[in-house]
Structure 1
Amino acid sequence: MQTILPPPFDKMMIGNSCIALLEYFHQPAWIRRVDGRYVWVNKSFLKFFNVKMEDVIDKVSEDFLPPEIVETSYITEQEVLEKRCSLTFHIEQKQFRTTIHKTPVFSDSNEIIAVAALMIDLKQELELETQLAHAKDFYEILLTYMGECLFFINKNNEFELINKRGKEALNDLGFKGPLPLTYEIWDNFLSNRYNTQGKKYTEDRKIIPRAWKGEVILNEEICLELKDGCQKFFLASATPFRNKNDNCIQGVILTVTDITKEKNLLNTLAQKTKLVEQRNQELHQFAYSAAHDLRDPLRNISLLASFIDEKLKKQDYEEVEFLLKKLLNTAAYGGSLVKNLLDYSAANREIKMEVVCLKDVVNRTITTLSNLIEQAEGKIIFNNLPIVRGNAQQLQIVFQNIISNAIRYKGQDPLVISISAERKSSLWVISIQDNGPGINEDFKEEIFLPFKRVRANTNSRSSGLGLSICRRIIEQHGGKIWLDPQPQTGACFKFTLEGMQD
């Protein structure tokens, strides 16, 4: 059997210029005869496969290349020989990725005598894709778990990107609208938007349209009024997204942070700070007034004692009995003042809460004040008083002080005091109404300050602490107390207490 030899190969068939061009490439290039033996390779080939020229020329691929590359090389080359045209192959394996351009070399008789090839190493591209995949994973995790709501609005005014926190925020706000979300849907849904001054946003002040005009908005506070009347507060930032080539705005990046909790905490802190300042002011006035009011009875007691002493020395007994009664009344007033001061101080301390029957509290109050009520020819009417959460002893002081004031400042008509209760949600509103001369509405705040007396007292002396004590006790119970301006005659005090669950 006669062996058929491949046609002889001469580099002159390709041309020196073509060889020079292949040599110039910084990518592996080679020429291999149809029998598989290499006749020429460039320096990049030797470097890429880490071989020497003598290891390659007139050798076949099996002599120096890994088996997986050899198999792929022969398959692709066979396809070029069969199709007799230039072909491009994309080869990807675990360690590398390449694109190989192969073209047949023809003899003068139009026979294929060799295959020239140029390999483009895509290892760098593979590394970049890996880095890009890692970056994509990183940013997906970042967008998913970041604390801020993130939105990207494209040039069609569609919300192309909404991160996890953004979707949760829309759901919390009650958004049930269609998707994809557009700016028109967004604008209609968030129509009740207000700034920090409580003014509703006009079209020219809305954040997204301003960003489309090129404005960068950073941390602008927005208030949303929800359907249930509640308010939520947000910090919003919007940045135009521009094309690097022509600087045209391609979209808007919007970030939103819910600051409702922080806002409420700041408001609570501001209220407590204001309350502390008010308490400090009251304490300052209290100390001054207490010293002033205690000084008068002590001075009068001392003066009356001196008068009595002089009368006794002169054995002048005519006015001694009168002076003694006056001294005893002054001492009683001083004792009452000290008691009220102690009650006022106790009203500032933490109290133990329990189940309290207000009917029992009022009955005990009437028993305590029975002599005063009888002297005033008074009558106290009440029925169906509720059971509340509170401190019975402290609440008795409240009823006692208000009823005592009604007796002290009663008018010419027989005194009638009516006590009632009205349920409002989880609270009870307690009303104590008398038929006396009433209190001018101008003094509705002043009467609750320590040592304030706004009504003429012709029958007895008052410390001016009673209503101030009442306010402290009711506030300790988590309620409010006020003078109701509605009654046409008399005074009506109202306060709230927490009711017991049914």
Structure 2
Amino acid sequence: MVHVFFQGYSELSGILKDRNILRWTAMNKKNEPSVIKYLDGKKIVIDLNSEFGRTFKFAAIGMALVDQEGRWIIANNSLCKLLEYSQEELQKLTFQDITHPDDLEKDLEKVRKLYGKEIDSYQIEKRYITQSGRILWINLSGSAVWNEDGSFRYYIAQIQDITKEKEAVELLAEKESLFRGIFNSTFQFIGFLNTEGLVYEANQTALNFAGLKPEDVIGKNFWDCYWWQISPSTQKKLKKSIKKAAAGEFIQYEVEVWGRDRTPSTILFNLKPVFGESHEVIALIAEGRLIQDIVDARNALIRNNEELEQFTSIASHDLKEPLRMVKSFGQLLQRHYAGKLDEKGQQYIGFMLDAVGRMGLLIDDLLEYSRVGDELTGKEEINTQELIQEVLNLYTDLIEGKSAKIYFSELPKIRAKRVPMKLLFQNLIGNALKYQKIGELPLIKIVGEDKGSFWKFSISDNGIGIKEEYQKEVFKLFRRLHTNQEYKGSGMGLAICKKVVNQHKGEIWLESEVGRGSTVYFTLKK
């Protein structure tokens, strides 16, 4: 029997020459060796109380010595626990037995190179299959120990469990793959820039639009990329926009850029700053959306509106000219032949002049109605308190003549189209003043309320009221409930109001009681 006590790694290396392990036992007496091995009938004692023995035994990672055929000579507790085998069970196996089939060949290739002294050591990631069948990802570091005569002695394996890290990497890869799929399949052009305007990434949609490859844009200044070379002024504006975005400002504007074969197309372009934890701008997201169809439709609408306005103006003039002639000669008849006509003849002339006046009013209202439909007019901030006062100034004589009382206060500031909005209030206040009982003092109240996503206004009066069955009808073109002798008008006023409200994505309705008055409500989207 040979007793060998080793204090370090070199001593252990000199002991284990034989590959045939017969058995493994433990001794528990104080100050006696803790492990006994029998190799070819010779008893070899391994002192696990030595410095190396304690390191080997208590190492947090798996450690083992493996022979040339892959059999486990000795494995520490960490490795046994990791693989779910006891020391005795593990010694009956080879590393090939527990290696995942898909990883075996690459491991054996490294071992062959190590055995052939082509490499001194190697490191690979591979999978083991534990006793319970669980797949375990490990990082394996392998090296060989050689005898003094150059012959092979054994392999040293260090094995670290990286299953959690591998799962995390795979999950991250899945998420990255999902993100990249979305990133490249979106209809919008998307790019990532640094704060200096250098391109980090551009999605496939943006590249395909111009027939580019990633290497054509990545690492270049954004304004030097093909899309923006359409003109120096376009590049200059982009440079300035990037500086503003890098300072934390959101940028949006329409711009014409080059597509494939230098075909110009208009996009709605955005630059959005990305903020870090300290609220500093760390990157920029560039986004573009093709709006050429919208631009073409808008330009066509501009042309159509210009043509319509021109037509309306000409038609209005051409329609009014004969009316002016009829009115002029009618007035001459009334003035010069009044004494020669009987009462009925004078009455006929009166009917004619009245009809001419109503026709002139109708033409004016039609012209006004057509101009309300201009969708291209921009919105602006309007102080409705001041706007109501402007409207009331138009009705000064009527208000004073009827001793009307009009109440309003703290009306909101809104964003709307000024001219249509003035027409809206003008018609509603005009109606409230007009449709009154004889001898009744008009009382009118105007209220404006903030309803979150929209404004709500109401104009109430104490007038003659409207029957319930007509409360929707009155918003139609030319719909009148009274004769012109009772109340003058064209039947266009509330139709104009409805068109203005629709233009501002709102609703209009009224509540009324005959003889008690009416309240017209309307909303305007913010």
TM-score normalised by length of structure 1: 0.39
TM-score normalised by length of structure 2: 0.37
The structure with the larger Rg is 1
Q: Larger RCO: Structure 1 or Structure 2 (Cα < 8 Å, ≥ 6 residues apart)? A: 1
